[in-house]
Amino acid sequence: MGFKGLSESSVRFLLGAGAVAGFFLVWEFLLTYVFVFNPFFITKPSLMWGATGDLILSGELWKDIYVSGTPFVFGFAAAVVIGIPVGVVMGWRRRVAFTLDPFLTALYASPLVALAPLLIVMFGVGVKGKTILIFLLAVFPFIFNAFAGVRSVDNLLINVVRSLGGKERDLYFKVILPSTLPYLVAGARIAIGRGIVGIIVGEFYAASEGIGHALIWFGDMYQLAHMFVCILVLMIIAVIFTQGLRKAELAIAPWRTQETR
C-alpha cells in the first residue's frame, strides 16, 4: 500500500499514532453530532485539551506527578530489589519455598488494597505510607514470577556450569538469573499495573495532593475533563514504564529480543 519504502518501525509508529488520533476524533465527533452531550456524565477531547492546558499552566500537573511518582519509583524499586532475590532463593531452595509459601500465597490472593487505610494510619499519607502500599502491591508479581522462572531452569545448563567448576554463586548469576529474566519482565508488567492501583488507592484517603488525589477530587467536583486528563496521565505513565521495560530488556537480553523477532 502506501507504506512502501518506510521502515517497519515507522509504519508501526504511524499506524499506532493514527489509531490513537482516530479514537479521539471519533469520540469528539460522536459527542458533538450524534449523542446528546451531558457534561456531568462524560467529557470530550476538546474539553480535555483545555483542562490539560489549565493543569499544566497552573503547575498542578507536574506537582501531582512528582508527588505520586516519588513513592511509585521507591515502592517499585524496593519490589524489584526484595522480590527478585526472595523469589529466586525460593525457587532454588525448596525448604525456603515451603516455609514462605503460606504467607505469600495468602497475601497475594487477598485484596491488599484493603490494607491501605491501615498503612495510612500507621505511616501517614506522605511518601512513606504510599511507598509501602505500592511496594506490597508490586512485590508479589516479582516473587512469584522469579519463583516460576527458577523452576523452569534447564537442568542441563546447571550441569554444564557445575561440570566446569561453577559454584553455587555461579549457578545463580550465570544460569538461574538469566533464564529467569523473561519471567521477571512479565512480572514487571503486572507490577506496573498494580503499582498504579497503589497510587490511586494510596491517595484515596486523606491525601491532599498527588495524581490519584486529583483524580478523585475532580471526580467529586464533576470536573470530568480534568478527571479524564488525570486518568490519561496515569495511562501514559504506565505506557512509559512498559516501554522502558521493553528497552531495558533489549539492552540486557539481546538474545531474546532477536529470538522473538
Which residues sit at the interface with other proteins, rule CB under 8 A?
156-157, 159-166, 170, 174-175, 178-179, 181, 253-256, 258-259
Nearer to other proteins, 7 or 163 (CB): 163
Q: Which three cell numbers stand for residue 29?
A: 465527533
Kindly state the smallest distance separating residue 240's Cβ from other proteins, in Å: 27
Phi/psi for 165 (5° steps) reads 95, 10
Kindly state the smallest distance separating residue 147's Cβ from other proteins, in Å: 20
Name residue 197's amino acid.
Answer: V
Measuring CA to CA, which residue among 49, 10, 5, 27 is closest to residue 226? 49
Kindly state the smallest distance separating residue 231's Cβ from other proteins, in Å: 39
Kindly state the smallest distance separating residue 259's Cβ from other proteins, in Å: 5
Measuring CA to CA, which residue among 71, 66, 90 is closest to residue 140? 90
Kindly state the smallest distance separating residue 153's Cβ from other proteins, in Å: 11
Nearer to other proteins, 126 or 178 (CB): 178
Nearer to other proteins, 63 or 174 (CB): 174
Rounded-to-integer distance, Cα 139 and Cα 83, Å:
5
Rounded-to-integer distance, Cα 238 and Cα 57, Å:
23
Rounded-to-integer distance, Cα 131 and Cα 72, Å:
6
Nearer to other proteins, 60 or 170 (CB): 170
Nearer to other proteins, 119 or 175 (CB): 175
The dihedral through the CA atoms of 144, 187, 212, 125 has a sign that is: positive
